[in-house]
Structure 1
Amino acid sequence: MEYWRQCAMWLISCNVLPANHRVTADSAQVFDLAQTLRDGVLLCQLLNNLKPHTINLKEINLRPQMSQFLCLKNIRTFLMSCCDVFGVKKSDLFEAFDLFDVRDFGKVMDTLSKLSHTSIALQGGFKPFPTEESLKDEDIYNNLKDLIDENAPEDEDDLYAAVYQLEEDDAGGEIYEDLMRTEQQPPLQAEVDVRSCCLTEIKQTEERYTETLESIEKYFLNPLKKFFSAAEIDKVFVNIPDLVKVHKSLMVDLQDSILNKNALNLYQIFINYKDKLLIYGIYCSRVEIAIAVLDLICKEKEDVRLKLEECSKRANNGKFTLRDLLVVPMQRVLKYHLLLQELVKHTHDAADKTNLKIALDAMKDLAQYVNEVKRDNETLREIDQYQRSIENLNQPLISFGRPKGDGEVRMVSSVDKRKQDRHIFLFDVAVIVCKRRGYNYEMNDILDLNYFKITNNPTSDREGKKWCYGFYVTHQQGHTGFELFFKTRELKKKWLDQFEMAISNIRPEKANHNSHQFKMHTFERITSCSFCHLLLRGIFNQGYLCLKCGLGAHKECLGRLGLCGRTDPAKSKSKESTPPANSGLPRMVVIRDYSGIPCPHCGPPLSIHAGDVIELMFADLHSSWWQGKILATSKIGFFPSDAVRPCPCVPKPADYSAQPW
C-alpha cells in the first residue's frame, strides 16, 4: 500500500477522518489528503484524540477559511505540541509551509509517522504506520504545490463535525443537558399530550435553570466575597445576579401561564422578556474572560481552590464545579427558540399557532444576536493575534472592522509599475499591506477602502502562468493605486469576491435611498433595525446609521425605509425657529409618560406627560422614535412613537399627504 494511503488509514484509525472519507476511494490521490490537512484543524484534533486536552480548542482557529495567517498558526500549534507533549524531535518536524504550500508533503507524512510511534500514541492502542514497505515515489509530490492553488477545497462540514461537537461539549452542552434532565415520561400518542409535554418541558427546564442560577449566587458568589476582591467577583460572576432576577420573574410568569391560563398568554411572555434577556449579550461577551480569571486564581491561591471545592460539595455534592456552571447560561439562552419551535409544531389552533410563531421569531432573533456576539468575540481574538504579529502598526486593527482574509499577493503600483511581493490583510474597511518577517509581518501601507474602487482586469489572465491573474484597486481621487496579482485564477476570484463585498458594505447600493445617508456603524447600545425591528447583531459594525436622521438598519433593509426626516438641516432649523401660524402638521396626544429613558440614538429626548399635545415634526411608521414639539412649552425633541396617538380634537382634518409616513 502506498505510503500516503497508510498515513490516511492511520488517521482514520485515530478517528480524525471518517471511514468513508474521499481519501479511501480507489480514484483518490495524495493531493486529497494534503488538502484535507492543510488548515491544521484536523492535525490539532489528532493530538487531542491521542491525548485528551493536549490543545485547548480556544487556542486554535476552527474555521480559518481564507486566512493563511490562521492556518499557519494552527499548524505551528500542532508542531509545538508534537515536540513539547509527545517528545517528537525538532529535527523530525516538518515546517509550516511544507504543509500549507505543500512544498514537502513527504516530510509532513514522515512527521506523522514519527508521531504514530511515540509512546503516548502506542499506549492509546493506535497501530503505527507504515506497517509495510512502500515505495516513496517523490514524483507524485512534485506537482502538489500547483494543484493546491488550482483546486478549491470541497465543503466538508461533516469532516469537521466531530471537532465542532467537541467545541460544543467544551462550551457546556453535556453539563446543561445533565442539569436540565427530568424524569422520563411514558410515550403519549395523542397530539394534545405531545403539546402538553412541550409545555411541561418549558416549565420544568426553566425551574431547573433558575435553581442553577440561584445556586451559583448562593453557594459560590456570596461565600467567595470573603476570598475574592470586588473586581474579581465582577470578572468571574459577570452579571449572574441580574440573570437571577430576570429568570426568577420569568419562571413565575411561565408557571402562571402554563398552570393557570392554559398557556394562552405564553407567547406574550416571551415577547415581553426578549429585551430583558438581551443582558445575555454582556454575559456571552465576558464569560470566557471569567473562566480564564477563575483558572488563574485557582492556580495561584490554594486556599481559594479548596474553598471552591467546598462550595461545589455544598451546591451539588461536588458533581459540578463553578467552572462547569459558568458555561450553562450560554446554553440556556440558545434553547428557547428550540423549545418554542417544538411547541409550534404540535399546536393546531390557528390563533395560538400564529401568536407562538411571533414569539418564536423573537427568540430566534435573540439566539442569533447571542451567536453573533459569540462569533464577534472569536473575531476579536483573531484580530488580537493579527495585532501582535504585525510590527510597525500604530493603530488598533479593530477600527478597521472584521477580517475578511489574508494571503500573498503581487502588487504593481500605478506610479512606478514596480512589482512587489506582499502579504495583505483585508478588513471591512481597509487593507493592511505587509512584508513577511519570519513568523511575523511588517506593515508597509494601509489602504483605506473608503477611497478606492475595485475593477476586474480579465486581460491580465494568462492560462498556465502564475501571478498573472489580477484586478485594479484604484484611488477615486487620483492618488496611487495598485494592480493586485494572484497565483491562480481561483485565488483571484476568491479575493475579487471579498474585495467587492467589502466595497459593497462600505458603499451599499441603497445607502442614499429616500434622501438618507447611511454609513456602516458600530452601535454602542443594543439597537433594532428601524424597518424590520430585528436586532442589529454583534459587537461592531452591526449595521448602518443614517448620518442625517439617526435611524439604524440592516444592509438588506436600507432600500425599504421611508423618506429621511432631515434632508435639509438648514430648512429644518428655520422651520423650528419660526413655524407658520397654521403649519398643518399632525398633532398627537400623549398616552403615557416618557422622561428620557431609554435615550433615543437619533437626537435629544423630549420629556412628555400623559395629556400633552405634540405637533409632529418628523415621523416614520417604521421608526420607534418620532420628533415633535410640545405645543404648551415649544420644547422640541424625540420620544417613543408608541407613547402617542392621533389627537381627537383637531379643529379641522389635517392634511397628511405631504408627510413621509
Structure 2
Amino acid sequence: MEDWRHCTMWLISCNVLPANHRVTADTAQVFDLAQTLRDGVLLCQLLNNLRPHTINLKEINLRPQMSQFLCLKNIRTFLTSCFEVFGMKKKDLFECFDLFDVRNFGKQAEVDVRSCCLSEIKQTEEKYTETLESIEKYFLNPLRKFFSAAEIDKVFVNIPELVKVHKSLMVDVQDSILNKNALNLYQIFISYKERLLIYGMYCSQVEIAIAVLDLICKEKEDVRVKLEECSKRANNGKFTLRDLLVVPMQRVLKYHLLLQELVKHTHDAADKSNLKIALDAMKDLAQFVNEVKRDNETLREIDQYQRSIENLNQPLISYGRPKGDGEWCYGFYVTHQQGHAGFEFFFKTRELKKKWLDQFEMAISNIRPEKANHNTHHFMMHTFERITSCSCCHLLLRGIFNQGYLCLKCGLGAHKECLGRLDICGKTDSAKPKLKENTPPPDPGLPRMVVIRDYAGVPCPQCGPPLSIHAGDVIELMFADLHSSWWQGKILATSKIGFFPSPMERYQAEVELLDRENGTYLVRHRRKECTEYAISIKFNDKVKHIKILTKDGCFYIAEGRLFRTVLDLVEYYKQHSLKEGFRSLDTTLQVPYRELSNGNVPKAITRSGSVPLGGCSFVPPSSSPFWLVGVAVARHDFCSRDTRELSLLQGDTIRIYTKMSNGWWKGEIDGRMGWFPSTYVEEEE
C-alpha cells in the first residue's frame, strides 16, 4: 500500500475522515488527499482528537473557502501546536506553502534508528529532569510553609537528591550524544549506577508518600487549595502533585529498556559490547530497586502481623520472610528427638504439607549453606547495612535484609550461589584442617515430585519399562521433556527406575491436538479435580473439551446414558455421535491421540479399575500451562532461596514461559520449573 493511503487509513481511524470519503476510492490519487487537507481545518481537528483541547477551535477558521490568508493561518496553527504541544522538531515539519500549493508532498526522509534511540535517551532525560525540578520549584519549596518538616520528608522523600543527580546526569548525557557521538555513553550509565541507588529508598516509600498527601489534603482545606495553585503554576493544572510523585519510579525502571533498544540497533562490535555492560548495570539497578521495594512492603506486612498477635515478645522479623497461607484443614505435630518442646502445624491439604516440609529444608539450606566453609571461609547469612556488591560476581546484594552472606573471618560478602567460587579466605584459621583438593562436589540433587494418583503400568510406554507408582510416592525426575507423553523417574523408597505418564492439561491438550486430523481425541484428568476426567477432541479444525460427569459411581456426558467405567463410555462414543449430549458436536471418537501413524494402537491394553487404557489415550493433568516465550543462557550461577525459585548454573539453557515487569522470569531446565532473576541470564535472539 502506498504511503499516502496509509495516511488516509490513519486519518479515518482517528475519526478525522469518514470511512466512505472520496479519498478511499480506487480511483483516488495523492492529490485528492492533499486537496482535502489543504485548508488546515482537518489537521487542527486531528490534533484535538489525539489530545483534547490542544487547539481552541475559536482560533481557527472552520470555513476558509480556500482563502490563502485563512488557510495559511490554520496550517500555521497546526504546525505551531505540533512543535509546542507534541514536541516535534521544526526540521521534521513541512512548510505552510508546501501544503497550500501542493508541493513537496512526499514522506519525510527516514532517520537512522540508532540516532532515534540516542535522541530518545537525551530528550526523555531532559524532560524528566525538568519534571523533577518543577516538583522542587513549584511544590516542595512553596509547601514548606504549609507542611511540617516531618510531612515534607514523608511526601517528597528524597526528591532534592534526585534533582541533584539528574541535573548532573542530563549534562553528561547531552555532552556525550551531542559532542562525542555517544562513544562514552556506556561509561556514564556505569558510573551513575551507584548514585542512582537512592531510588531504592524513593520507590519503597512513594506509596506511603501518596497516602500521607491524600490524608493532609482531606484534613486541611488550605493545603488542598495551595496544591491546586501550585499545579496551575507548574503545568497549567494538567498534572497534580499526586500524579508527578509516581514519575521517578517509572523513570528508573525504564533505563534498561532504553539501553536495550540502543544495543539492538548498534552494529559496531566494540560499541555493542560496551553498551551491554551498561545495560547489565541498569538491569541490576532495576532489580535492586524492585527488591528493596518488595522488602519494605514485607517489613510493613510483618509489622502488621506483630501488632495483631497479643503477648508476642519475639520480633517476627528474625524469622525471615513470611509465607502466608489460608484456611487450614490438616494438622500434624513435629516433636523434638531429645524431648524438647514440639510444634503443631496446620495446612489446607496434604500437598501443602509436603510443600512446607520442602520450605523448611530450603530454610535450613539458606541458614547453613553447603558452601559456607568453602576454602576455609566461614559465611553466615547477614543483613548488610550499606549497599554491597558480591565479592565474586560483583552484582548487587539485593534487598534490605538478609541480602547475602558475610565471611566472619575476612569480611567478604557474597550471594549464596557464589560461595563455592571464592578464593581462599584472607584470614585463614591455621588450626582448622584444609579441604582436600580433589574432593568431588556433592550431588546437587534432582527435582522431585509427589505422586497424587496410582499408575499400574497401563497404558504401557513405548520408550522403556513402565514405573508402577502409588499416591504418596516421592519420585526423583531423571528425564522430563515438557512435550513428551512420558517422563522417566526413580522412586526414592525402592530405587526402581522407569517411565510414567507426564502431566497434561486443557491448554497442552489443545496444542497437541491442533496438528492432528479431525476426530482425534484424548482422555485426561481435569486440572482442578484429580478424580474427574475430560475428553478433548478435534472437531471442525477446533479443539473441544467435554467434562465427564459422575453419578452413583457411574460416568456420563448425557444424563440418560450411564457407564460403569470411562473405558465403557469411550467405547460407546466410538460408535455413537457425541451430539447425544452436545447438539453442535456431531462426531464420534475416531482416532486415539496415541495411535501410531500407521494406524496401529500401542500394546498392553488391559483393564485396571476405571482408568482408561491405550485406545482411550489417557493423559494426566499438568500443574501449569506451558507457553514458550523465549530461550536464555545463564551467565551467572543463581541459588534459589525457596522452592518457587529456579537454581541456575552458568551455561544452563533455560526455556522461558513468563516474564514479569519486576525483573523475575519463570522458566524450565530439564523438567525443573521456577522463578529466576532476568539479570542472571542472556536471552537468545
TM-score range, shorter chain: 0.3 to 0.5
**Which protein is bigger by CA-based radius of gyration?**
2
Give the helix-richer structure, 1 or 2: 1
TM-score of the superposed pair, with normalisation by structure 2: 0.46
TM-score of the superposed pair, with normalisation by structure 1: 0.48
